[in-house]
Amino acid sequence: MEAYLYTALFAPLVGSLFAALFADKPKNLVTGIATSTLLFVSWISSVVLLIHVSHGGSVHVEMMDWIQAGGLSIPFGFVVDQVSATMMFVVTTVSTVVHVYSIGYMDHDRSFNRFFAWLSAFVFSMMVLVMSDNFAGLFIGWEGVGLCSWALIGFWYERDSASWAASEAFIMNRIADLGMLIGIFLVYWNFGSLQYDVVFAQVDAMESTILMLVTAFLFIGAMGKSAQFPLHTWLADAMEGPTPVSALIHAATMVTAGVYLVIRANPLYSEVPEVSYFVACLGAFVAIFAASMALVNRDLKRIIAYSTLSQLGYMFVAAGLGAYWIALFHLMTHAFFKALLFLGAGNVMHAMNDELDIFKMGGLAKKMKWTMIMMTLASLALAGIYPFAGFFSKDKILEAAFATDHYILWATLWVTAGLTAFYSFRLVMLVFFGEERYKIFGFHPHEAYKYMLWAMAPLALLAVVAGFFEHDFVHLVSYVLPIEEYHVSTGVFWTLVAVTLGIAITGIAVAVIVYSRGGFSKKLEETFVYKLLFNQYYIPKLYNDFICKPYAELSKIFWKDLDLKVVDATVDFIAGTIYKSGMVSRVVQSGNLSNMLRWMGVGLLILLIAAIFYSPMR
């Protein structure tokens, strides 16, 4: 099995290096085909490993000694257990589809080869993150996906907006990563190791205060990667990157890393209910917070991005309540329908010459039937409609919240479910149905290449059927994760299912009825609530006015008053003094023998005087 582990891990790296060889060359179709093929090989290996560990086993390899410093010993090791194998399957499935799809999407881009080099590197970094057997290796993959996201979000760096969005994502994640790094230092300081098995074996003997600090700092890192409030603003702005990148970030790599960290470190979080409850509360807040902003947004990709932020909130609620397997289950099902939504959005963008305003679309179902069908299926899964995948995982989170008597969390998620259904079908109605508004703006939409649609087909299938594998999934992860049984009576259970489905269906019905009749009144846009949601609660403005601008002004002050007047002036003074003394002393090196002898005499006289005054005989 070790060969399959190495293949799954390093095949994306080989693809990235191969594409990098042609990064500055004109488009080479072989680059896209080769990287996609290698991703498919990685997927096959991941499936083989998933089947292997489904019987309770695991694969653990240590390639070499990595860091040896004093008492610190970190091997370059990887583990494939039931959790990491699930993540590998999700990552490689979505990534393979995205790679094949990108061959068509990036067809006319002059940096075609560079794109695939970074895209495969992105996947490799995520594989390192989920397969490492220690916190240090996880951190290397963590920083790797951060670097690759910076390069891919800012892929079209000629645009100021793309360059700014990439820097925002990178800097905001570095702020959070400082917290995570402190958490990792605390782990080593108190446990004496960074190996998962060694650390988790000592949890019972550790003081609760230490565990609270460790888990809190680790969660700060998760907040940045998974864009939890208040470190959330980068996620919507990251839509400046190519749409396949958005699909990969939101479905299988970057933002899922934070959830994975909490799931992987579940033995730590299980011992500190205070921190776990905070994780759940923050997740519930972010779920409804992001959903409310999606209600009024006009940008096709940003609406889907806010839905990701909201669904991440659901995952953190499950993890915070100790339902780690449900959090992982929702992560998996969400990956399939969210990637499908983004790739469908990519088709719409191509058809509309990169237009993103959904109010400039409408009636595209006639021109893009297959894209419409697949995005509708994905939207039904996102809304949690039976029998689509999202129903099974989202319903389990609501059931866990209710069964553990966290009724406020349940109510928050229940309301969010209705909002999610509404904004999902608001998007579908405004893009694919109703008046053909695109004609007013002179667009001539068309369906995507057939092989791009075929590439999306596996995701469409999984968005429909993945939920039916719930029992197999529970059996798989039960070897590693605690499986909590939530006891509610049969009547209560079916009531919960009914009210959850009811609010989702109501949300869909309202969206269909309202937007089939032309939408809400324009007066709505003049209300305070609408403006508040449309401007993201003015949080980006607050960050800009109270953090970015003061920091920039403070930097100018330090530059003008400290750097130029003190630091530069001091350096210039020292340099000028040395230069002037050199100019004065140049007369000594005249080349005249008489002058040279005269200066030798002066030097000898100085030495004699010094010898007399400092002689030990005085």
Predicted confidence (pLDDT) at residue 588 exceeds the cutoff of 80: no
**Buried-exposed string 241-271: b where 16+ CB fall within 10 A, e elsewhere:** bbbbbbbbbbbbbbbbbbbbbbbbbbbbbeb
pLDDT band at 108 (very low <50, low <70, confident <90, very high): confident
The answer to whether residue 385 scores a pLDDT higher than 90 is yes
User: pLDDT value at position 311?
Assistant: 96
**Nearest CA to 266 among 47, 46, 484?**
484
| pLDDT score, position 348 | 95
Task: Give the pLDDT confidence of 193-217 residue by residue, as tens digits.
Answer: 999 999 999 999 899 999 999 999 9
pLDDT digits (tens, 9 = 90+) for 223-257: 999 999 999 999 999 999 999 999 999 988 889 99
| Weakest mean pLDDT among 374-378, 473-477, 522-526 | 522-526
pLDDT band at 518 (very low <50, low <70, confident <90, very high): confident
Helix/strand/coil (H/E/C) assignment for every residue in 300-341: HHHHHHHHHHHHHHHHHHHHHCCCHHHHHHHHHHHHHHHHHH
Indicate whether 34 pLDDT > 70.
Answer: yes
CB 412 within 8 A of CB 282: no
Mean pLDDT of 514-542: 90
Using DSSP, state whether 109 is helix, strand or coil. Answer: coil
Confidence (pLDDT) at 488: 79
Position 63 confidence tier, pLDDT thresholds 50, 70, 90: confident
Least confident of 256-260, 349-353, 591-595, 598-602: 591-595
Q: Which of 77-81, 146-150, 412-416, 589-593 has the lowest mean pLDDT?
A: 589-593
Predicted confidence band of residue 305 (pLDDT cuts 50, 70, 90): very high
Indicate the pLDDT class of residue 324, thresholds 50, 70 and 90: very high
Average pLDDT, the chain: 92
Higher pLDDT, 616 or 566: 566
Q: Judge whether residue 525 has pLDDT over 80.
A: yes
The per-residue pLDDT for 617 is 56
- Give 67's strand partners: 74
Q: What is the pLDDT of residues 356-370, one digit of tens each?
A: 999 999 899 999 999
Q: What is the DSSP letter of 63?
A: E
User: Does the pLDDT value for residue 563 go beyond 60?
Assistant: yes
Whole-angstrom Cα distance, residue 125 to residue 209?
33
Q: Which of 282, 288, 298, 175 is nearest to 236 (CA)?
A: 298
Where is pLDDT greater, at 504 or 602? 504
For the full predicted model, state whether its pTM sits above 0.85.
yes
The pLDDT of residue 6: 94
Q: What are phi and psi of 133, to 5 degrees?
A: -100, 15
Q: What is the mean pLDDT of residues 442-459?
A: 92
Can you count the helices (H) and strands (E) in the chain?
26, 2
Residue 395 has pLDDT above 70, yes or no: yes
Stretch 162-179: mean pLDDT, rounded? 94
Report pLDDT digits (tens) over 263-273.
999 999 999 99
pLDDT score at 228 = 94
- In this prediction, residue 596 carries a pLDDT of 80
3-state secondary structure of 79: strand
Query: Tell me, what's the pLDDT at 615?
Result: 67
Give the mean pLDDT of 470-475: 93
Q: What is d(CA 304, CA 123) in angstroms, rounded to the nearest whole number?
A: 21
Q: Compute the average pLDDT of residues 587-608.
A: 82
SS3 67: strand
Give me 213's structure tokens: 């600090």
